[in-house]
Structure 1
Amino acid sequence: MIRFLLLIGIVLGALYLIRWFLTTPAEDVASKIRKSLWLLLGLGLIFLAVSGRLNIIFAFIGSAIPLIAKQLPLLLRLFGFVKTIRHNKQENKPPESPRASKMNHKEALAVLGLAENPSKQHVIEAHKRLMQKLHPDKGGSAHLASQLNEAKTTLLKNYE
């Protein structure tokens, strides 16, 4: 008879939980389930510690898990803040000097080894010839290759 009453209680409890699950908003259901799982985890750790199956140190570590989980958003925000600071330090390098980013017409001619007033074709050929020698993939430096590209761009602006 007691088994029958327990079975009826379990069935009624399951029906109540199903009804509650279907009528409650999803956020509330997720929150309650999460809290219930943490409670079961804590009770399980306490049971294991009291019964001698779990070292007391592990019980303290287990009981700290809910506290850590509660503080996790704050910790993640703090780590995000640290990451932002590191990123800003990398971005706050001194700006390049104007000399490094601008090249006048005479300098461009000197870099490409051209005489005054070259044709568009001469500029392209000189750039191609020097780039084949000085390209980083061919053993040249990236700095020289960027100077060649900038010189070509500066000289070809006159033809546009």
Structure 2
Amino acid sequence: MTLEIIIFIAAILLGIVIYWRESQGNKIYRFFNKLMNSKELQMKPTDKKGFVFKQNFILRLVYISVFFLVGILITQFLMPIGIAAVSLFVSMIVGTLIGTYIAGAIFKSSEIIEEQTESIEEKFEEVIEKGKDFIEDFQTKEVEEVKLPKEKSKEETKSARERLKDKGLL
């Protein structure tokens, strides 16, 4: 079980590395594309698609499975010990798929952040200006609204006894 977890985490990291490498350049995919397709069906020079980069789920699963199958066959040929069990094979494939999707999410979020950085700065400056205006308006309204009530002089106020007399209670 521990070996499977270690292989699973390593496969996630491998998936991230594979996705990142293919986002930088897809020379191996272009080579196989030129080898297998006619001149009319070959990729355009501006196309960035790779084995896992900008590929749909099914083809990504097939390419990763073939990659690990070839790796396991080479390992079995070099060391005839049964280390390539089915559960390890599945852990490697699933981990690599998850790693490619994690890398895709990271790339997508970094692109969005780069696009929105300038607009966020502008919005932040607008919010600061609005906040300053709000504080200024609040301070001027507060000064206008808050007027100290005039204290009545002692001559104008009646004592409690006089008020009770006025009401007829004394």
Alignment TM class, shorter chain as reference: under 0.3
What TM-score comes out, normalization by structure 1 length?
0.27
Q: Tell which has more relative contact order, 1 or 2 (C-alpha 8 A, sep 6+).
A: 2
- Kindly indicate which of the two structures has a greater share of residues assigned to helix: 1
